[in-house]
Amino acid sequence: MADPFILKAGTGIALALPARACMTVTNIYGQQVVDTWALCASDTSEVLSMEHTRSSLDKLRPCVGDDLYSNRRRPVLNLAKDTSPGVHDTLLSACDEARYRLLGFQGKHASCAENFFAALRELGIDAPRVPSPWNLFENVQIGDDGKLTIEPPVSRPGDHLVIRTLVDVIMVFSACPMDIALTNGIDRRPKDIRLHVS
Amino acid sequence: MADPFILKAGTGIALALPARACMTVTNIYGQQVVDTWALCASDTSEVLSMEHTRSSLDKLRPCVGDDLYSNRRRPVLNLAKDTSPGVHDTLLSACDEARYRLLGFQGKHASCAENFFAALRELGIDAPRVPSPWNLFENVQIGDDGKLTIEPPVSRPGDHLVIRTLVDVIMVFSACPMDIALTNGIDRRPKDIRLHVS
């Protein structure tokens, strides 16, 4: 992988990283959501889990300094830095073909679910399912009645997160191809993301 | 299974049900959380998914009349009736041994995760993981800062839900054995639940 690497709009990538690596995810235009997953390299059935992270932190979303937990309740990532306002989603599933059909789209559409599977296949990993993603920069507002609304990201051009790996992991990133909901801004246009490993 | 069936405090059960069955879950004492899962009988890797349900409904939690979705975004259950105030959780993971250790408990403790695996083994099903549960009657409050707080259930003695199956499923219920957090009321004492199939 070139470094820094430009993750093209609507595409995904999987990266095998050792423990104590730092991954910088930069929202070049400020308005792009990045679905993010981590699978433990020692056993890829152990995965970053949004529900175990929420339960272990007693928080809806991790903040700077927080560890993120696997489905075996082990800390696997740490959110080391975040220059954005900290609005990231842990509630919504990755978009998939069925999601686009429910939104009224006919035909074939790229999706984060498909990007997840395809990126892992590039590394020879045949994943059985899509874990619940950590949706970086996704702005999901919760109404008093529990209504969820996807609003444009509040992040600014150049905002970035640094994610530190605590174990050997396969990281998967998808620059979300959503062009119907407001996920990727009011222009509903997917954009590139910059990734940098150190 | 006797019908109605008393699910003893802290234990779990798995039930194979055809499509169009109705399951009544009664909170006898009003203060007991029931971790609930559904696996599709035709392929048990297709499971009730909290993140797909939230995404498909645009709601934090299903309300009366709503369908609940699988990880393949198919409607698999319907919440047909709810006499309680409708406070059920979709955010937190099932309790497991690691959760009790994080809460300071030493030694062996019953857990919803273990109940899930044990109940399915009774039906000859070896589940690879614990899906994110639908935590009936669990009262998780979200603070303005995203802080999650487990408070005593707001359901009353005799409150009940009717869940309708839309496909052939294996339902799993665990009367949560939590006795440290306020999950099961201010007395922190797990209680029995009544199940009835029709």
Task: Give the distance from residue B148's alpha carbon to the nearest chain A alpha carbon, in angstroms.
Answer: 5
Q: What is the pLDDT of residue A3?
A: 79
Could you tell me how many CB contacts below 8 A there are between chain A and chain B?
A: 89
Share of chain B above pLDDT 70, in %: 99
Least CB-CB distance to A51: which of B52, B91, B147? B91
pLDDT computed for residue A138 by the predictor: 98
- What's the pLDDT at A1? 66
| Closest CA–CA distance from residue B55 to any residue of chain A (Å) | 5
Give the integer Cα–Cα distance in Å for A106 and A196. 36
Compute the mean pLDDT over every residue in chain B, rounded to the nearest whole number.
96
Among all residues of chain A, which has the CA nearest to that of B70?
A: A93
> If you write DSSP's letter for every residue of A61-126 in order, what string do you get?
S--TT-EEEBTTS-EEEEEEEE-S----BSSSPPP-HHHHHHTT--S----HHHHHHHHHHHTT--
Asked if A38 and A52 touch (Cβ cutoff 8 Å), the reply is no
CA dist A168 and A44 (Å) reads: 11
Residue A91 to residue B49, Cβ atoms within 8 A:
no
- pLDDT at position B43 is 96
A61: which chain B residues are within 8 Å (Cβ-Cβ)? Answer: 146
Question: Does B55 sit within 8 Å of A93, measured CB to CB?
Answer: yes
Q: Which residue of A has its CA nearest to B61?
A: A146
Q: Which residue matches tokens 């949706």?
A: A135
Give ipTM to 2 decimals: 0.95
Amino acid at A100: Y
Q: Is B132–A51 a contact, with Cβ atoms under 8 angstroms apart?
A: yes
Nearest to B52 among A59, A61, A93 (CB): A93
Say if strands B5-7 and B193-197 run parallel, antiparallel, or are unpaired: antiparallel
C-beta atoms of B93 and A52 within 8 A: yes
- The pLDDT, as a whole number, for residue A144 is 85
Which residue of B50, B73, B112 to mutate against A (max A Cβ within 10 Å)?
B73
- CB contact (8 A) between residue B91 and residue A54: yes
Nearest to A142 among B55, B60, B147 (CB): B60
For residue A100, the model assigns a pLDDT of 95
- pLDDT of chain A along its 198 residues, tens only? 677 899 999 999 999 999 999 999 999 999 999 999 999 999 999 999 999 999 999 999 999 999 999 999 999 999 999 999 999 999 999 999 999 998 999 999 999 999 999 999 999 999 989 999 999 999 999 998 899 999 999 999 999 999 999 999 999 999 999 999 999 999 999 999 999 999
**Structural tokens at position B98:** 């690691």
Question: Does the distance separating the beta carbons of A130 and B71 come in below 8 Å?
Answer: yes
CB pair distance less than 8 Å for B148 and A56: no
What is the structure's pLDDT at B1?
Answer: 67
Taking an 8 Å Cβ-Cβ cutoff, which residues of chain A contact chain B? 45, 49-52, 54-56, 58-61, 71-74, 91-93, 96, 98-99, 102, 128-130, 132, 142, 146-149
The tens digit of pLDDT for each residue in B5-15 reads: 999 999 999 99
pLDDT of residue A12: 98
Residue A196 to residue A81: CA distance in whole angstroms: 14
Going by C-alpha positions, the residue among A172, A175, A197 that lies closest to residue A120 is A172
Distances (CA, A) of B11 to B7, B112, B161: 7, 8, 19
Q: How many CB atoms lie within 10 A of CB A136?
A: 27
Residue whose structure tokens are 């006797």: B2
Spans of chain B below 70 pLDDT: 1
The predicted model scores a pTM of 0.96
- Interface of chain B against chain A, CB under 8 Å? 45, 49-52, 54-56, 58-61, 71-74, 91-93, 96, 98-99, 102, 128-130, 132, 142, 146-149
